Amino acid sequence: MNVPFLDLKAQYSTIKCEIDRSVAEVIKGQHFILGDWVQDCEKAIARYSNCPYGIGVSSGTDALLICLMAEGIGAGDEVITSAYTFFATAGVVARVGAKPVFVDIDPVTYNLDPNQIASSISDKTRAIIPVHLYGQMADMDAIMKIASDHHLVVIEDAAQAIGAEFKKHRAGSLGDYGCFSFFPSKNLGGAGDGGMVITNDRSRMEKLMCLRVHGAKPKYHHKLIGGNFRLDALQAAIVLAKFPHLDNWTSARQRNAKRYNDLFKKTNIRIAHTDSYSFESPLSGKHAPASQQIDAAAQLLLPAVQTNRHVFNQYVIRLSNREQLQVSLLAKGVATEVYYPVPLHLQECFSYLGYSSGAFPESESAARETLALPIYPELEDEQAAYVVQCIDEFFSAQA
């Protein structure tokens, strides 16, 4: 059996008429830059995320970048973020000339550990960028309190978490800014790059609107130095066509995650659950040490849902012999992905920051041990069962 990691063709086949009609309407109208399609998309995503304002931009990366620019963050400033996330989160900090300051993660949720933020704050710190990794929100109560106490800007990286909830607050709505990506593999993806910033602050919205068109307001009159960060009308139209299906797709991802959990429980694999190690919710600020997560008593750690609504952009398992399992699955037709094999503090381009191996042990352990399984909404029962069967066979062969 062949089980792809992601099957966008399967998704497209179910909504082909809607997508094709929207694309045809954009081409017929010949208005490709900003315009009604983008405005409608902005309103829909902002409303869905319980925010008054949405600003469509060219990518999730540019969403983060334009927020830093709006706050005037640059040379001499520091921005705190996670050591374990996609490169763009820290890359944009370096691009504006500021210094990324990394913090380790909670080993249960893989999100930034708020208990380690305060010790990383200096008189140069301007902002915190928490990442809602894999579709589950970080502990925003703790992060927002720290930010308030120290007068810091909070930019939520919600690229993987549209529709996720923390205490019934939607991803992106709690910070000063929330950033989404419409990269095709996201829960709500376009047909290329695209992104959006949401905010509760009208003045910030107006500044972002100006910055995304080279800082011009009105046209050809430049109050600021901005960039070309516009969301294309074609991408906005495709996102809008997909948008009515988002909650159903999220429910399917959640069902797939539960199905994986149930299937794993029926195997002979020794499953490590968070309660088996007396993990407390990361919201309480306590967790077990990383050394307890993967040991001789347990072979596999499954994802832990610690917030109101986990949208499962990824279903990530954890094991000590990750590479061997990945090779074994590939040989049997099962595609997987590693998010992320090298934590940010050990990336060559950030060597100038002076971090060394061992600086963030939780991030380094996660980078060695995590593996994402297929979780896309169209995943069939037989495919999920086959994935778990192959993993069960792998562990049986290791015994």
Do 214 and 338 lie in a common domain?
Answer: no
- Sequence-distant (≥ 6) Cβ neighbours of residue 357 within 8 angstroms: 346, 364
3, part of any domain:
no
Residue 119 within a domain: yes
Domain that holds residue 308: 246-398
CATH number at residue 91: 3.40.640.10
The end-to-end CA distance of the chain, in Å, is 25
**Nearest of 94, 389, 90 to residue 264 by alpha carbon:** 389
> Which of 224, 245, 266 corresponds to the end of one domain?
245
Rounded to two decimals, what is the model's pTM? 0.94
pLDDT at residue 285, rounded to an integer = 38
List Cβ neighbours of 240 (8 Å cut-off, separation of 6 or more).
22, 37, 40, 41, 44
177 and 252 fall within a common domain: no
Model pLDDT, residue 334: 98
Instruction: State the total domains in the chain.
Output: 2
- Whether residue 94 contacts residue 79, with contact meaning beta carbons closer than 8 Å, is answered with no
- Domain assignment present for residue 89? The answer is yes
At residue 297, the pLDDT reads: 66
Q: Which of 245, 261, 296 is the last residue of a domain?
A: 245
* Contact criterion met (CB below 8 Å) for 155 and 64: yes
Residue 70 lies in a domain: yes
Asked if the structure places residue 1 within a domain, the reply is no
For residue 273, what pLDDT is reported? 61
pLDDT computed for residue 272 by the predictor? 82
Using the Cα atoms of residue 92, residue 376, residue 45 and residue 35 in order, give the sign of their dihedral.
positive
Specify whether 83 is located in the same domain as 171.
yes
**In which residue ranges of the chain is pLDDT below 50?**
275-296
Query: Do 262 and 218 share a domain, yes or no?
Result: no
Q: Rounded to whole angstroms, how far apart are CA atoms 216 and 47?
A: 27
In this structure, what token pair is assigned to residue 62?
Answer: 């540019």
Considering the domain architecture, whether residues 228 and 273 belong to the same structural domain is answered as no
User: Do 145 and 185 fall into the same domain?
Assistant: yes
Same domain, 293 and 208: no
313 plus 209 within the same structural domain = no
71 vs 189: CA distance, rounded Å: 28
User: Domain check: are 236 and 261 in the same one?
Assistant: no
pLDDT tens for 140-175 read 999 999 999 999 999 999 999 999 999 999 999 999
180 and 329 share one domain: no
238/255 same-domain check: no
- CB under 8 Å to 299, separation ≥6 — which residues? 269, 270, 271, 272, 319, 395
Q: What is the C-alpha separation between 123 and 150, in angstroms, rounded?
A: 9
Q: Which of 219, 245, 271 is the last residue of a domain?
A: 245
List alpha helices for the chain, DSSP H: 8-14, 16-29, 36-48, 60-70, 88-95, 140-150, 202-211, 233-242, 246-265, 322-331, 361-369, 381-398
Q: What is the CATH number of the domain that holds 304?
A: 3.90.1150.10
Strand (E) or helix (H) holding 179: strand 177-181
Residue 43 lies in a domain: yes
The reply to whether 251 and 229 lie within a common domain is no
